[in-house]
Structure 1
Amino acid sequence: EIHFFDKYSKYFNYRTTLEQFDMIENEWRNTQLPFETSRNVMKTFQISMIPPNTKMSVMKKRVMYKNKLLHALRNRGATTQRVLSGVVSFEKSPSYIDRSSPSDVKAIIPGAKIMVILRDPVRRLHSSYWHFCSINHMKSCTARGFRNWVGTVLQDAHQGIQKRNTLVDGNAARSVAYGLYANYLEKWFEVFKEPGRFLVLFTEAFQESPFDTMRRIEEYYGLTRFDFKNVATQVNGYWVLGSSSKAIKEAKKPPGYSKLKEDKEMEDALYELYRDSINRLRELLLQKNRSSSVPVIVQDFPKWLQP
């Protein structure tokens, strides 16, 4: 997750801007922006940024729009950073890893320090399915529903992962593609080459030893140490802070959810799909660590990433 500016502050919304860039580059398709925002962006693209009666191709208009917007953002971004000087602020979302252009991020926020938390891609896909069906049609959250959800992606994995909106269920295609971590991190590492710009952690290590992981995060960002364990409590086997925690909601999951891991055939098919990407990720992280004076990885590889 990429830490930018506090989303609750009244300064510029970088995340929405990067979604706009993504929407422009991908012909306005598959955007996560609210409809009203998308419509306003299209109006801006069609009217405000492009002079009336301009004779040029649609592609050139998009390039012009993006260049003008990026120029404005650099100026506004510099102002915002001066205002927030000395303030610890951040932005986080899994949406950045595959939607945003790393070069856009660096142009807008050149000093960004990035933390990525990776999880076993198959377990992450299970979690993504639970999230999707819990906010849409919770009663369908079953092992059979999961098999149907990702089935079309597995039938034509290459097309489903490489192209947007080629499948009936684009959510499933994108959720499967999220697990191809190496595809995305290669691009981010290429743009953010300076030592100390990336920290790679693992969900499995955080679950096993959350306080050690938090200590590493504090050290990486230069934060004042805080005794999380002193204020944390255990709920359903998880350490939690306060009452707003997914751990408290564990018991509300449908009975069928626990059977996702029991579908051995589907699980084997997914690991086979991710196998090459996992191998590339392992080599990429090892290479990045060897070539940098500042470690990118500070935790041992979890079981799914080991040879």
Structure 2
Amino acid sequence: MPRTLDGQITMEKTPSYFITREAPSRVFSMSRSTKLMVVVRDPVTRAVSDYAQTLTKNPGLPSFQNLVFKNSTTGLIDTSWSAVSIGIYAKHLENWLRYFPLAQFLFVSGEKLVTDPTGEMGRVQDFLGLKRVVTNKHFYFNQTKGFPCLKKPEGSSRPRCLGKSKGRPHPHTPAEVLHRLRDFYRPFNMKFYQMTGQDFGWD
């Protein structure tokens, strides 16, 4: 990574940082003043999306409901499956709060990034101490993908949208399966809301 000059901000992103147990201590050793942004979405939707992505690489994968339950009769959720465990946000945040104060975090709503990208990006720019340069004039909603895209910048031949892997249809999942999974996540979501002081409205 190149050296950060005066007036510049170095940013790094990896989805696995938030859920990797060793990551907080390593980041802390590098810089105690690092600002941390976490994009979260409804853990039920996230789990199904995770499965959909994996399914494209492995079409022979068992059904979502076969993977999500340890015991389908009792409805016991298999927390060892990464698609499920990643969405237990409170557990992962507890690990990070051992090293960093809550004030150094910004929790970005994945749902609002879709419905109100200007508002969420405004929060991001404020958190980073930046002038609000990215505004509503920079976005348009792509009906096909179901996500906002960046309008074509000057000198560019096309707008910038999320890649092909984003916006794919999710496989059908029985409503009862989603209901049981939502019940499972509810106490963890409530704890996450309390920890962050932010209600993401997933219930």
Q: TM-score interval w.r.t. the shorter chain?
A: 0.7 to 0.9
Answer yes or no: is 1:189 the counterpart of 2:97. yes
Q: Which of 187, 193, 196 is residue 285 of structure 1 equivalent to? A: 196
Taking a change above 3 Å as real, the CA distance of residues 248 and 103 of structure 1, as seen in their structure-2 partners, is closer
Match of 2:126 in 1: 219
Taking a change above 3 Å as real, the CA distance of residues 226 and 304 of structure 1, as seen in their structure-2 partners, is same
Match of 2:87 in 1: 179
**Could you say what the CA RMSD is over the residues aligned between the two structures, in angstroms?**
2.8
| Identical-residue share of aligned pairs (%) | 25
Which runs of 5 or more structure 2 residues have no equivalent in the other structure?
A: 151-158
Match of 1:126 in 2: 48
Q: Which of 202, 219, 239 is residue 148 of structure 2 equivalent to? A: 239
Taking a change above 3 Å as real, the CA distance of residues 125 and 190 of structure 1, as seen in their structure-2 partners, is same
In structure 2, C-alpha distance between the alignment counterparts of 1:153 and 1:285, rounded to whole Å: 32
In structure 1, C-alpha distance between the alignment counterparts of 2:77 and 2:163, rounded to whole Å: 31
Q: How many residues align?
A: 190
1:183 Cα deviation (Å)? 0.6
Higher helix share: 1
Q: Which of 35, 39, 56 is residue 113 of structure 1 equivalent to? A: 35
Q: Is the 8 A contact 2:122 2:132 kept in 1?
A: yes
Q: TM-score, normalised by structure 1?
A: 0.54
Higher-Rg member (1/2):
1
Higher strand share: 2
1:203 Cα deviation (Å)? 1.3
One-letter amino acid matched to 2:200? P
Q: Which of 188, 201, 210 is residue 108 of structure 2 equivalent to? A: 201
Which runs of 5 or more structure 1 residues have no equivalent in the other structure?
A: 1-8, 12-79, 162-172, 287-296
In structure 2, C-alpha distance between the alignment counterparts of 1:112 and 1:218, rounded to whole Å: 15
Match of 1:303 in 2: 201
Q: TM-score, normalised by structure 2?
A: 0.79
Match of 2:65 in 1: 147
1:224 Cα deviation (Å)? 2.8
Answer yes or no: is 1:264 the counterpart of 2:186. no
One-letter amino acid matched to 2:63? G
